[in-house]
Amino acid sequence: MSFESFLTALMSPQNGARAAAEQKYNEMKAADPGPLVGHLMAVLAQPAPDPTLRAFSAVLLRGLIGRRATVYFSLPAQTQAQLRSGLLAVATENASNKLLSKRVCDTIGELGIVVEANGHWAELLPWALQQINTPNPDICEVGLTVLAQVALVLASRPQYHQHYPNLCMLLQRCMTAPGAGVGVRVAAVQVTCNLVVCITSSEQRAAFRPLVPSMLIALADVLTRDNTTLKSAEMLECFGDVSYEHGSFYRLHLAQVHAAMLQIAGSTQLDDKLRRFAVEWIAATAEGSGSMCRKLANNAYTRNTLPVLLSMMLADVDSMVGDLAAWEKRGETAGAGGGTVG
């Protein structure tokens, strides 16, 4: 049986075939995971196999070399180096395949955290910055996605702090440049927010504050172009993550961000999930940074927020009353016909 057929069996909807393949996989992993890593990388690196198999290989590989496993450090140094360089190459070469590139970026992110916890992946940041600096939006998104996943490493390791100014410049461009895709805008905001959440020094966090207006530009663009609302939700969730951890990050641009969130919360044309994320930002910022919010001129934070929240509450009440009225009418109709409501 070829290794591709073996992977197909692991994905089989037939319980018997899948169980046998899973047992074989676990035996291979326990006996010597090195060849298994090599087989998975071979499938991942070849353009010929089914894209689903390649994505599945990336998932299995992440399970072997990620934070929950210790396989990586049992591999020979040469194999480790080949694995690192091979993953970076696959991510770049398959940037246009969204499913596969996402799985590979997840694997690179996991491996990056593993390697940096016990050493240094010297090529990772230069590679990511090179991807971000390309005009190809798919490749740019790949670089940003990986950086978002290793934000904790970039925040905690002093040798990376010198790259913050260059990174800020690239992130601002990704958020505001004409023609940048929705994925690029969202990933750039994710990198920024993840870094701000992970950086422990308020002085270092302040270096990213000038990006807030660009974050709002990116948010406005994504809201108008995101047909599924999934990307908009991801972006709003990132804004909220910063508020929960370091709400004062928005201090210099609080009025603008607050106004944007009020506009989203009060827009009945938007999905309720997006409006709820906006309200969560408003509440989290007020709860965690109340003194900052009170300093807005003319008590604007409270004065402008309450009408929007009350309007949302009344709309919910009207909806519930409408449902109640319809329910009562059905009950009256059933009662008149001798039936029961239940």
Mean pLDDT by 10 residues, the chain (342 residues): 88 92 91 90 85 91 87 91 96 94 95 91 96 95 97 93 95 94 96 97 95 98 91 97 96 97 95 95 96 94 94 72 61 59 43
pTM of the model: 0.88
188 Cβ contact partners less than 8 Å away, ≥ 6 residues apart: 144, 171, 174, 175, 218
Cβ(3)–Cβ(36) under 8 Å? Answer: no
272 Cβ contact partners less than 8 Å away, ≥ 6 residues apart: none
In this prediction, residue 50 carries a pLDDT of 81
Cβ(235)–Cβ(219) under 8 Å? Answer: yes
Provide the b/e sequence for 61-70 (b: ≥16 CB within 10 Å).
bbebbbeebe
In this prediction, residue 340 carries a pLDDT of 46
What DSSP character marks residue 96? Answer: T
